[in-house]
Amino acid sequence: MNILMVAPEQIPVPGNGSVEISMLAIAKQLAVNHRVTLISRKARNLPRVSRMGNLTIVRVSSGSSSKYIASVLHYLKGRRYDLIQVDNRPHYMAKIKAAFPHTPVTLFLHSLTFVKPTTKVNESLSRADLIIANSDSLKANLAARFPRHAGKLRKVHLGVDTARFSPASGAGHSGTFRVLFAGRVIPRKGVPVLIRAISRVRKEYGPVSLTVVGGGKPGYLRELKRLARAKGVPVIFTGKVPHRSIHRKFQQADLFACPSQEHEAFGLVNVEAMASGLPVVASNIGGIGEIVKHGSNGYLVDAYRNSEEHAKWILKLARDRELTVRMSRQARKDAVEKFGWKQTAKKLMGIYRQFGS
């Protein structure tokens, strides 16, 4: 099969965004048996074309949405594909379908961000031959927002590089219980809730540290640092860490915290943490409960706006190292068995083959 994948315009591939990380990982797996072209935005430090076996990454001019899609369509002129997948941009998908009316064109959605229930989005979705959602939660939300397109919806979970994201080797942990957060440092990710939770855990347990990996606006980061000082919580803010080396941060932790305060379609960081052998304490919101199994590989926090509820489960693991070790092993097992990128690509191709037959 000759497959085309079209990435969003904001971040180049390879890149640190979860959409771009997922697309490249899936493309590499598909390229084992198929010819794959992935179109992304141009970047100063990357060549216009990269080739890796059956995978070709083509980078075109961007700068704005309209310029990017015009660049994509210009590149595609005169070319032919057996299937086209557009990620997270319904309007790009509709324009590409108009240019390729006889080619199956699918939309792979990673969040609700670009699918507001408007007439324009509804019209764009009507052009898709299939719509892939990365979780049952996202699929259900899309079906509720756009009932006339519910029949086109399919679910494919994302994955993790289980070779790179793996448990740390070597001796046991130090006396300090190390909690990790990784993601965009923005209000919806709930870092203030986590800082307050760690403050409570420290009062009852003792030495607990927090590392926050990810970039944020300077003003918001200053607010968080002030809160951490006021609550007596030692926090290391690392800033952005390239995805190619972020696995090392997971290997330096005992527990991963995901205190999201708004819908998470999937939550890629949670499977990365699990593959690294970390139990996860996460808000029970969106698709997170499809990954984190309460009492098995981590704990789900129902009252996720309440820092005491997060603190309760973090404290339980800090106090019981045997439980932490047991959950760590289960988390790794679940990641390897259910969430490898090979499984993601296999499920996706199964849907595409069934659709094409």
Render pLDDT for 241-268 as a digit per residue (tens, 0 to 9). Answer: 999 999 999 999 999 999 999 999 999 9
Cα 341 off chain centre by? 12
Q: How confident is the model at residue 331 (pLDDT cuts 50, 70, 90)?
A: very high
Q: Which residue has the higher pLDDT, 174 or 30?
A: 30
pLDDT of the residue at 15 = 87
Average pLDDT over residues 152-171: 91
pLDDT of residue 172 exceeding 90? no
In angstroms, the Cα distances linking 129 to 92, 145, 234, 330, 351 are 14, 18, 51, 38, 12
Tell me the pTM.
0.91
pLDDT of the residue at 169 = 81
Distance CA 87, CA 156 (A): 13
pLDDT of residue 167 exceeding 60? yes
Q: Indicate the burial class of 326 (C-beta count within 10 angstroms; 0-12, 13-18, 19 or more).
A: middle
Percent of the chain with pLDDT over 90: 92
For the ranges 19-33, 169-183, 202-216, 309-323, the lowest mean pLDDT is seen at 169-183
Q: What angle do CA 120, 124, 260 make, to 5 degrees?
A: 80
Q: What angle do CA 204, 208, 212 make, to 5 degrees?
A: 135
Percent of the chain with pLDDT over 70: 98
Distance CA 10, CA 64 (A): 9
Kindly report, residue by residue over 37-73, the tens digit of the pLDDT.
999 999 999 999 999 999 999 999 998 999 999 999 9
- 3-state helix/strand/coil string of 257-307: EECCCCCCCCCHHHHHHHHCCCCEEEECCHHHHHCCCECCCEEEECCCCCH
pLDDT of residue 144 exceeding 60? yes
pLDDT of residue 171 exceeding 70? no
pLDDT of the residue at 355 = 74
Kindly report, residue by residue over 277-289, the tens digit of the pLDDT.
999 999 999 999 9
In angstroms, the Cα distances linking 279 to 161, 211, 274, 296 are 17, 16, 6, 9
CB-based contact 134:23 (threshold 8 Å):
no
Kindly report, residue by residue over 186-218, the tens digit of the pLDDT.
999 999 999 999 999 999 998 999 999 999 999
Q: What angle do CA 183, 167, 347 make, to 5 degrees?
A: 70
pLDDT of the residue at 63 = 86
